């Protein structure tokens, strides 16, 4: 069977062959526990610390400011709950946007049960936040601002440095969810000015189930897991050495090849956009036209139903939907809702996301398939 063309790199990415090669010894030979003081622990321990340096290299932080997690969701949970609980004596107010991933929104909702209040700042029609709107949402009891670096559905990149500068001036901790931006655009914590940043390995050609959290030295957060003292006590549990090694390698590659990857992903994305928009009259782009991830293309097909379109193209192209249409109702993604995309456009929204392996031939075929499907439907 011929595999569909993969245009869902924001969903997840395949493992980079260099990542697989780096992990192989830890799958086949090096089974030791990094906490063991005997011979078997030496290589795994060294590998975990080497990986920490590789991730730190991509983020521009100190290795000691990073700990490994099970992925973006855990990193966000730990950052938000950990900070809120550590600073609850100072205040119980959090500022975020209506536009975040559920791994942030659901955490804020959950914390309401512990007496925390969250303000959800609206985005504009292109999914952009105004730093002034964030500043006006801040109160004397605000302890945390958490805003995603780039949106997973439409790709809009937020003015994190401006928001973080405002947060710092007011003594508020700033967290960003960089699950989607790492490896696609620069995300150096010194340039962003953030205090905490979440990493998700599987968006970056590393395996699923591994991530990291950057916590700037001096910022105190509560422990996530209680147990033995791994990860300096912040996250107990025997380290996932195999995947930590994979994440480290993936970050090294992301830093090394960033410029070339950005150029390639953007060329493929724009070719797809032009190919589709040039042949269909009723197509529009969701998200910011310029301040957007170089690989992300959220297209609204007016009057169409996204799940019907996905079914129609599914044997040849793998993409994802921005809305789910049922017999008598339509559920829009909260991102399109927050952007107030009109229903007749939003319900026919597909997200295409390109990656390192996307070729011009893939894009040309995908254009034929998508245009054909829209015309038939
Ligand atoms: C912006 C964003 N944050 C967090 C996550 C969750 O990451 P993980 O799948 O590693 O838990 C995702 C994954 O879709 C994401 O896109």
Give 196 Cα–ligand 1 centroid separation in angstroms: 16
3-class secondary structure, 68: strand
Q: What is the DSSP string of 272-339?
A: HHHHHHTT-SSEEEES-SSSB-TTEEEEEETT--HHHHHHHHTTTEE-EESEEE-SS-EEE-HHHHHT
Q: What is the DSSP string of 118-173?
A: EEEE---TTSPPPHHHHHHH--TTEEEEE--SB-TTT-BBP-HHHHHHHHHHTT-E
Report d(CA 135, CA 169) in Å as an integer: 11
Half-sphere exposure of 291 (CA within 13 A, CB side): 11
Selection from 115, 126, 116, 120 nearest residue 147 by Cα: 120
3-class secondary structure, 342: coil
Return the bridge partners of 298, or none. 286, 351
Whether 146 and 121 have beta carbons less than 8 Å apart is answered as no
Report d(CA 269, CA 285) in Å as an integer: 12
Report d(CA 54, CA 23) in Å as an integer: 14
Q: Which of 97, 200, 207 to mutate to test the pocket of ligand 1 (most atoms within 8 A of CB)?
A: 200
3-class secondary structure, 58: helix
Give 308 Cα–ligand 1 centroid separation in angstroms: 26
Selection from 262, 287, 298, 221 nearest residue 65 by Cα: 221
Beta strands 5-6; 196-200: pairing state:
unpaired
Report d(CA 156, CA 151) in Å as an integer: 5
Return the bridge partners of 96, or none. 120
Q: Which of 70, 71, 204 to mutate to test the pocket of ligand 1 (most atoms within 8 A of CB)?
A: 71
Give 1 Cα–ligand 1 centroid separation in angstroms: 30
3-class secondary structure, 86: helix
The catalytic position among 61, 108, 251, 325 is 325
Domains of the chain listed by start with CATH number: 5-12+258-376 (3.90.1150.10), 17-254 (3.40.640.10)
Which residues form the pocket of ligand 1, taking CB atoms under 6 Å from any ligand atom?
Answer: 71-73, 101, 103, 148, 152, 177, 179-180, 200, 202, 211
Give 281 Cα–ligand 1 centroid separation in angstroms: 33
pLDDT at residue 329 in the model:
75
Give me the tens of pLDDT residue by residue for the chain, a chain 377 residues long. Answer: 789 999 999 999 999 999 999 999 999 999 999 999 999 999 999 999 999 999 999 999 999 999 999 999 999 999 999 999 999 999 999 999 999 999 999 999 999 999 999 999 999 999 999 999 999 999 999 999 999 999 999 999 999 999 999 999 999 999 999 999 999 999 999 999 999 999 999 999 999 999 999 999 999 999 988 998 899 888 999 999 999 999 999 999 999 999 999 999 999 999 999 999 999 999 999 999 999 999 999 999 999 999 999 999 999 999 999 877 666 777 889 999 999 999 999 999 999 999 999 999 999 999 999 999 999 99
pTM of the model: 0.97
* Phi/psi at 6 (5° precision): -85, 110
pLDDT at residue 160 in the model:
98
Query: Between the CA of residue 216 and those of 67, 185, 269, 308, what are the distances in Å?
Result: 11, 21, 35, 46
Return the bridge partners of 144, or none. 94, 173
pLDDT at residue 90 in the model:
98
Active site residue 108: no
């Amino acid at each position: 069977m011929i595999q569909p063309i993969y245009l869902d790199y924001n969903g997840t990415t395949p493992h980079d062959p260099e990542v697989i090669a780096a992990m192989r010894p830890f799958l086949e030979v090096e089974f030791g526990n990094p906490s063991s003081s005997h011979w078997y622990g030496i290589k795994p321990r060294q590998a975990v610390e080497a990986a920490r340096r590789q991730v730190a290299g991509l983020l521009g932080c100190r290795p000691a400011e990073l700990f490994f997690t099970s992925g973006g969701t855990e990193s966000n949970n730990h950052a938000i709950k950990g900070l809120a609980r550590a600073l609850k004596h100072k205040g119980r107010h959090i500022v975020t946007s209506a536009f975040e991933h559920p791994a942030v929104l659901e955490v804020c909702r959950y914390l309401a049960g512990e007496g925390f209040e969250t303000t959800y700042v609206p985005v504009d029609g292109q999914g952009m936040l105004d730093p002034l709107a964030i500043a006006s949402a801040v109160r004397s009891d605000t302890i945390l601002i958490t805003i995603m670096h780039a949106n997973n559905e439409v790709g809009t990149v937020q003015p994190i440095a401006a928001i973080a500068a405002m947060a710092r001036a007011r003594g508020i901790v700033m967290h960003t969810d960089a699950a989607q931006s790492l490896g696609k655009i620069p995300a150096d914590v010194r340039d962003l000015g953030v205090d905490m940043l979440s990493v998700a390995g599987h968006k970056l050609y590393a395996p699923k189930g591994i991530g990291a959290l950057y916590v700037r030295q001096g910022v105190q957060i509560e422990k996530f897991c209680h147990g033995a003292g791994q990860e300096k006590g912040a996250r107990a549990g025997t380290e996932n050495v195999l995947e930590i090694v994979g994440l480290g390698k993936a970050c090294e590659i992301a830093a090394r090849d960033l410029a070339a990857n950005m150029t390639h992903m953007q060329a493929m994305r724009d070719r797809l956009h032009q190919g589709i928009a040039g042949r269909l009259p009723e197509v529009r782009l969701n998200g910011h036209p310029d301040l957007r991830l170089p690989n992300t293309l959220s297209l609204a097909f007016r009057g169409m139903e996204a799940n019907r379109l996905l079914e129609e193209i599914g044997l040849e192209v793998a993409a994802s939907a921005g809305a789910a249409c049922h017999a008598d109702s339509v559920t829009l993604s909260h991102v399109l809702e927050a952007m107030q995309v009109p229903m007749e456009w939003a319900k026919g929204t597909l997200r295409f996301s390109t990656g390192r392996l996307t070729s011009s031939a893939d894009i040309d075929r995908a254009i034929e398939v998508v245009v054909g499907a829209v015309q038939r439907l």
